[in-house]
Amino acid sequence: QCAIGDSYADYDKAFTADQSVSGVADTWDQPLRGNFNQLRELKAKYPNIKILWSFGGWTWSGGFAQAAANPTAFAQSCYNLVEDPRWADVFDGIDIDWEYPNACGLSCDTSGAAAYKNLMQALRAKFGTNNLVTAATTADGTSGGKIDAADYAGASQYVDWYNVMSYDFFGAFNAQGPTAPHSPLTSYSGIPTPGFTTADAIAKFKAKGVPASKLLIGIGFYGRGWTGV
């Protein structure tokens, strides 16, 4: 089920005046503090901003197999949390960062190719059309890779857009190299893994039937480095 990751940071931590978006310090007895209240203040300052609650990620994707076993119950738990009366006015929808459906990330999933579509369908059914439903996706454009493992095309009808994680193709997490740009836009001679480029990922999604209008390219504003190679 969807759950709070850090309750102290999310809604309990008191911000000082110099830390606060509004420039006003939190009080000890106000109903909502923490990052959620800062997001509320940000929204008051910029009313057109859209704020999504993202669940999963590299570290916390292990529970999606259980979620896939009962998508309706999972969607209900997410809706109850996102629409909690304490912060219902803060969030405009939900983002799912499943790493990775029917494939391996930090943990491996064997829910099957249809599980992703079923999960997104349940989320859309629960959140309706007045909320945003988005997802962070793999950018593995290799043959037989992670894009091939799940029904991203079928699920695309239920999402407003996909946030394609077209970065960290290469990095020091491969301690011995080979060294390479961490987010190459296109392929080049000698690329260590053919298909590990933004262009290949987008082309594969489109070839599978995901509308181009629902594909957002991820850009990493940072560099990667190696030592001892």
Of the candidates 10, 26, 97, 99, the residue annotated as catalytic is 99
Q: Where are the domains of the chain?
A: 1-48, 50-217
Q: Which residue has the tokens 């300052």?
A: 45
Cα dihedral 82, 84, 90, 92 sign: positive
Q: What does pTM read for this prediction?
A: 0.94
| Cα first-last separation, the chain | 42
For residue 124, pLDDT over 90 is answered with: yes
pLDDT higher at 178 or 143? 143
Cα dihedral 61, 66, 70, 76 sign: negative
Please state, in angstroms and rounded to a whole number, the distance separating the CA atoms of residues 93 and 78.
Answer: 10
Which tens digit of pLDDT belongs to each residue from 7-59?
Answer: 999 999 999 999 999 999 999 999 999 999 999 999 999 999 999 999 999 99
Annotated catalytic, 41?
no
194: how many CB neighbours lie within 10 A of its CB?
11
Which tens digit of pLDDT belongs to each residue from 157-201?
Answer: 999 999 999 999 999 888 888 899 999 999 999 999 999 999 999
Superfamily of domain 50-217: Glycosidases (3.20.20.80)
